[in-house]
Each structure stands twice: as structure tokens, then as C-alpha cells.
Amino acid sequence: MAEFFETLMLVCFGLSWPISVVKSYKSCTAQGKSLMFELAIFVGYICGICSKFMAGNINYVLVLYIINLVMVSTDILLYVRNRKLDMDGAAQENFA
């Protein structure tokens, strides 16, 4: 039963990441995003994956952790890209 609720938690969290990734990609700005927040979630998923291996409880739930980790990683990379775009735009405004 515990795995069922862990799966539901990961699915609920996982549903938000594709939306966040698309929004980050389309907006081309890092405004409104928190790198520290995303890094904390990234570390949380890494800890969840490590706990699965350490407990020897490798099952289908591990796949959800990995999918969520990939989505958070993608959003972090988009944050870095968008932050650079923000800085380039600010530099152009200051130059003009």
C-alpha cells in the first residue's frame, strides 16, 4: 500500500513538470522562477532514488523518480538558458 501512495505522490508532482518545462521554454525568461527551489526538488528526487537502491526496493516507482528527475533537470537547464537571455536583453537595453 505504501508503494501505491508513493506512486500517487510522484504522479501528482510529475504532472506539473511538463507544464513548467513548456512555460519555461516559451517564456524565454527566468523571472518568476527559483533556481534554489528547483535544485531542492532535484536533490529530493536524487534522495528518493538512492533510498530505493539502499532499501533494495527497486520497482516500477523508480521509473517515476527518474522521469521526474529528467523533467526537473530540463527545467533547470531552461532556467540557465533563460537567465542568460535575460542578462543579454538587459545588456542590450543598457547599450542602446
Question: pLDDT tens for residues 34-74?
Answer: 999 999 999 999 999 999 999 999 999 999 999 999 999 99
The enclosing H or E element of 23 equals helix 2-27
What is Dmax (Cα atoms) for the chain? 62
**Single-letter amino acid code for the residue at 11:** V
Rg (CA), the chain: 17
Spatial separation of the C-alpha atoms in residues 71 and 84, rounded to whole Å: 20
Q: What percentage of the chain reaches a pLDDT higher than 70?
A: 98
Spatial separation of the C-alpha atoms in residues 35 and 80, rounded to whole Å: 9
**Average pLDDT over every residue of 15-26:** 94
Spatial separation of the C-alpha atoms in residues 93 and 50, rounded to whole Å: 46
- Name the DSSP letter for residue 1: -
